[in-house]
Amino acid sequence: MKKALLFIFTFPLFVFSQQKEIKKAEKTFSNEHYFESIKIFENLVDKGIKTAEIFEKLGDANYLNANYAEANKWYSMFNDLTSEMDTEHHYRFAQTLKTVGLLEESKKQMDLFESKSPNEIRTRQYKKGLNDKSMLIISNVANLPINSKYSDYGTAIKGDTLIFSSARDFVLDNTTYARTNQSFTSLYRTIKKPSGEFSSPKLFSKNSFSIYNEATPVFTKDGKTMYYSQNKLSKKSKIKLVNGLFKLYKSVYSKGKWHNKGAISFGENDSIRIANPTLSPDGKYLYFAADFKECFGNSDLFKVAINSDGSFGSIERLSNKINTEGRETFPFITEDNTLIFASDGYPGFGGLDLFSIDLSDPNASVINLGDAINTPFDDFALTTNIEMSQGYFSSNRLGGEGDDDLYSFDLTLVPITITGQVVDEDTNEIIPNASITFLDSKNNTVASIASDLNGEFIVSTMKRDSKYTIKVQQKNYIPTEKQIIVYKKDLNETIEVKKEEVKIDFTNILNLNIIYFDIDKYVIRKDAKLELDKVVTVMNQYPNIKVEIGSHTDSRESKKYNLRLSQKRAEATLKYLIKGIDKSRLTAVGYGESVLVNSCGNGFKCSEIEHEKNRRSTFIVK
């Protein structure tokens, strides 16, 4: 009887203890103390409490702490216990299945996600797949020797100095970050020597150091202003951290020291998590990741104008061509205006992948940088040097020194190739052996080729982000020009050319002497009257033909003046011809200086005789 009473009293205490432990685990989870919450939830599982809710939380805590293989274990158990997994967990489960190499199972989960969320940006991207080829060739990926067994990530290149974030143990403070159970990150610097070796990492600056996280620095071109991420403190507190809530900070270099200017205020958005700043190549815009209420997903990319006085304009969210319902973070903009960022919202290899998009091209789309740099784990925080020949990124892939590691890589820009075909504008017939000339923005010839028997052409090694003029010439066709803009991907162009009309000019048939006019005059000269009389004679012999009188000037004077003068000359010629020809058979057209017979255009020195050749009339049979 005593044993039974003991059980009756003990059982409620046991249940109460479990509930208390569950509440504690949930609280640590909501505070993003993932390391601690995992320990508590796992302890509950060890005690036999195996619910779908606990498996879900264990999966999420590990997923959000980038422990994807471990997250996969708990998501698998969660999936076994629930008949209806929500859409976001289908997506997360699919991501972790890639990490452990179960690609077919991952596809099944993505198909379920697609069926439940047909209108998401992620769904549209999933259907599209990895179709585009990156124009960045990445090679020689190598783990840096300065990595520690702790988290090292987020680089900035400042001359021969590399600045990065690290959670390695630091003597000034031994506080532990509850999310990761590692030290808070600080900014470190290392110098890359001419030999390629790196110096031993040192604290970047005591003036930018705090007892909490500093990360992801970016510097202005003059190297005197630094923007970076740092955890935010609670209001009216100098020590209590708002866990996980990063803000952007600014530091200025003067008199040999860095001076911390504190957190950047964005007004009503100051309660929002903002991190990972980068600058546009011209320094006029600050880009960053944030989880504002208008975000599509967990974090989106934004930009804000930096005014001349150092203040900021209105925050702009980048378009849904870039942002998805997933995570878009760690932006970086290259010297040629390519945005590179990390995301788990596009088709990839698992975890965060690195993507690019050409900000100069309004029609550009996001491109995965490929498996030369991306893995089933997190790959993020890419930066390059100004020359875009070498760079660094961060990854928690297998085979590293610790948690997140720094990696170097070499970069080659793929030359742009322009292909195309020359066709007849009216019939679409291919035009072989056409002469094709490419001119740059300074009118210099950069390539001269001919279309092949299929009317096709190809030219490589064209520059990115450049304007070109394509000139096409072929016998019996009107010379054609087409302006194109080359961005950061190959281009295919169809050049349409139009056949020249077969024109019969009495000037040639009758072997007429060219009818000239005196400078600035439109009076018919005596020598011209003899030639015009020949035109009258022939037109009377052939009463059904009609003739266009075309009058032309030289290039001197303005185009407007010359057009008016040529029209008067054409009308004067017509007035003379209607003495013997019905007016209905004649038209008068003034062409001004638009059809010169030589190179005596504006800016060219020519003799009077050369200019006179352009002051003429033609007689085209219509």
Joined together, the tokens standing for residue 621 give 């049979």
- Distance of alpha carbon 84 from alpha carbon 133, whole angstroms: 37
What's the average model confidence in pLDDT over 381-393? 96
pLDDT exceeds 80 at position 191: yes
- Distance of alpha carbon 211 from alpha carbon 222, whole angstroms: 28
pLDDT given for residue 17 in this prediction = 65
What's the average model confidence in pLDDT over 29-38? 87
pLDDT given for residue 168 in this prediction = 86
Asked if residues 486 and 416 have their Cβ atoms less than 8 Å apart, the reply is: yes
Assign 11 a pLDDT band (cuts: 50, 70, 90): very low
Joined together, the tokens standing for residue 14 give 């046991």
Assign 12 a pLDDT band (cuts: 50, 70, 90): low
pLDDT given for residue 329 in this prediction = 96
pLDDT given for residue 243 in this prediction = 57
34-46 vs 52-64: helix axis angle to the nearest 10? 150
Q: What SS3 state is found at 4?
A: helix
pLDDT exceeds 50 at position 590: yes
- Distance of alpha carbon 55 from alpha carbon 82, whole angstroms: 10
pLDDT given for residue 5 in this prediction = 46
Asked if residues 481 and 470 have their Cβ atoms less than 8 Å apart, the reply is: yes
pLDDT given for residue 10 in this prediction = 47
Assign 270 a pLDDT band (cuts: 50, 70, 90): low
Of 620, 593, 618, nearest to 513 (Cα)? 618
pLDDT exceeds 60 at position 326: yes
Q: Which DSSP string corresponds to 250-261?
A: EEEEETTEEEEE
β-sheet bridge partners, residue 231? 246
Asked if residues 437 and 447 have their Cβ atoms less than 8 Å apart, the reply is: yes
Q: How far is CA 165 from CA 146, 190, 202, 277, in A?
A: 12, 11, 11, 13
DSSP state of 499: B
pLDDT exceeds 60 at position 429: yes
Tell me what the pLDDT averaged over the chain comes to: 88
pLDDT exceeds 50 at position 13: no
- Distance of alpha carbon 33 from alpha carbon 65, whole angstroms: 10
When comparing pLDDT for 212 and 572, which is higher?
572
Poorest-pLDDT segment among 10-19, 429-438, 464-473, 554-563: 10-19
pLDDT given for residue 433 in this prediction = 95
pLDDT exceeds 60 at position 14: no
Condensed to tens digits (0 to 9), the pLDDT of residues 480-531 reads: 999 999 999 899 999 999 987 767 777 777 777 777 777 777 888 888 888 8
Residue with tokens 């059980």: 7
For the whole model, what pTM was predicted? 0.77
pLDDT exceeds 90 at position 588: yes
Where in 264-352 does DSSP place strands (E)? 274-279, 285-290, 300-306, 312-317, 328-333, 338-343
What percent of the chain shows pLDDT beyond 70? 93
Joined together, the tokens standing for residue 383 give 């930066």
DSSP state of 477: B
β-sheet bridge partners, residue 482? 470
pLDDT exceeds 70 at position 16: no
pLDDT given for residue 238 in this prediction = 54
Assign 272 a pLDDT band (cuts: 50, 70, 90): confident
pLDDT given for residue 265 in this prediction = 84
- Distance of alpha carbon 431 from alpha carbon 364, whole angstroms: 31
How far the first Cα of the chain sits from its last, in Å, is 124
β-sheet bridge partners, residue 273? none
pLDDT exceeds 70 at position 349: yes
- Distance of alpha carbon 285 from alpha carbon 339, whole angstroms: 13
Assign 1 a pLDDT band (cuts: 50, 70, 90): very low
Poorest-pLDDT segment among 20-24, 241-245, 572-576: 241-245
Poorest-pLDDT segment among 262-266, 459-463, 589-593: 262-266
- Give the number of other CB atoms < 10 A from CB of residue 145: 10
What's the average model confidence in pLDDT over 578-595? 91
The three-state DSSP-derived secondary structure of 507-554 is HHHCCCCCCECCCCCCCCCHHHHHHHHHHHHHHHHCCCCCEEEEEECC
Q: What SS3 state is found at 433?
A: coil
Assign 478 a pLDDT band (cuts: 50, 70, 90): confident
Condensed to tens digits (0 to 9), the pLDDT of residues 72-122 reads: 999 999 999 988 899 999 999 999 999 999 999 999 999 999 999 999 999
pLDDT given for residue 237 in this prediction = 54
What percent of the chain shows pLDDT beyond 90? 57
pLDDT given for residue 26 in this prediction = 87
Phi, psi of 167 (to 5 degrees): -100, 15
- Distance of alpha carbon 66 from alpha carbon 438, whole angstroms: 50
